[in-house]
């Protein structure tokens, strides 16, 4: 009796795991960013640029002097 109950619980657990996996797939495919989709190439370029040293660091008030 106990062995049968354990086997039934294992089958039920496998079914629940499959259902949860399917729900995860469905949810992640449905969610979209409000700004839209970003292309992987764009993300790669931005990530590489963010790692580089800046060409110039503006101090307070300098930027407005340069553009005026």
Residue 32 has pLDDT above 80, yes or no: no
φ, ψ of residue 62 to 5 degrees: the values are -70, -40
Q: What is the mean pLDDT of residues 38-64?
A: 84
Q: How far apart are CA 37 and CA 42, in angstroms?
A: 11
State the average pLDDT over residues 49-62. Answer: 83
- The pLDDT of residue 12 is above 80: yes
- Domain locations in the chain as residue ranges: 2-67
Distance in angstroms (rounded) separating the CA atoms of residues 63 and 30: 43
Which residue did the predictor score with more confidence, 57 or 51?
51
Three-state secondary structure call for residue 52: coil
Q: Compute the distance between CA of residue 27 and CA of residue 20 in angstroms, rounded to an integer.
A: 10
């Amino acid at each position: 009796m106990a062995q049968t109950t354990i086997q039934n619980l294992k089958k039920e657990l496998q079914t629940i795991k499959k259902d949860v996996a399917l729900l995860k797939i469905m949810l992640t495919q449905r969610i979209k960013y409000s700004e839209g989709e970003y292309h992987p190439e764009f993300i790669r370029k931005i990530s590489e640029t963010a790692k580089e040293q800046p060409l110039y660091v503006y101090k307070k008030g300098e930027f407005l002097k340069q553009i005026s």
